[in-house]
Amino acid sequence: MRPIYTSVGLVGTSPWVPINYQEYRAGFNTSLGAVLTTGASLTYTVQHTYDDPNRHYHVLVSRSGTTATMIATDHGLVAGDSIIVGAGGAPFDGTFTVASVIDANTLTYTVSNSGPLTASPEVFTALLRVYPHSTLVNKTTRSEGVYTSPVTGVRLICTSHTTGYVTLIVVQAGI
């Protein structure tokens, strides 16, 4: 498979890179390389999920200011986990980091302070529990890593930034 590239140049996360974990017959192996621009001053971590980003849950979403509140029965998430929301429009749509967990059925995330106060009734979300890579955590220089056990997606998160950007290169082994 061809390499997949995703970059981050500010504090925040990259889009999820899906991993084709179902097609490996001779064993799973995904290689990762993180490359910084010359003179970059930042800290990054690679994260992964075992959850299926295509498994959608129907939820209710509303917002007050920049705080969106999601009702998702027995969501199982913690602050820092990820949600992919499809609500039919801004400001609710996109990939977000869970800001807080109010209870087993309610969580919050940050959105822009514009647009409707309630999401479409057809809103759906993917709920993704997030884990740090075993070695690509709090890095400030070029690094590499590997997954030998199946994960469903990886992403890059920049936790501090002064200058430059980091690019994550993901290479999945042949089928």
Q: What is the pLDDT of residues 66-80, one digit of tens each?
A: 999 999 999 999 999
The CATH number for 104's domain is 2.40.30.20
* Whether residue 90 is found in the same domain as residue 146: no
Instruction: Tell me the pLDDT band of 164, cut-offs 50, 70 and 90.
Output: very high
As for how many domains the chain has, the answer is 2
Residue numbers of the domain that contains 81? 57-128
Q: What is the pLDDT of residues 97-116, one digit of tens each?
A: 999 999 999 999 999 988 88
Q: Tell me how far apart the alpha carbons of residues 92 and 115 are, in angstroms, rounded to a whole number.
A: 9
Q: Mapped to the 3 state alphabet, what secondary structure does 9-63 carry?
A: CCCEECCCEECCCCCCCCCCCEEEEEEECCCCEEEEEEEEECCCCCCCEECEEEE
Q: Has residue 56 got a pLDDT over 60?
A: yes
Q: Tell me how far apart the alpha carbons of residues 158 and 151 are, in angstroms, rounded to a whole number.
A: 21
* Whether residue 143 is found in the same domain as residue 166: yes
Q: Has residue 88 got a pLDDT over 90?
A: no
pLDDT at position 23 is: 62
More confident residue, 88 or 32: 32
Q: How far apart are the first and last CA of the chain?
A: 8
Residues listed for the chain = 175
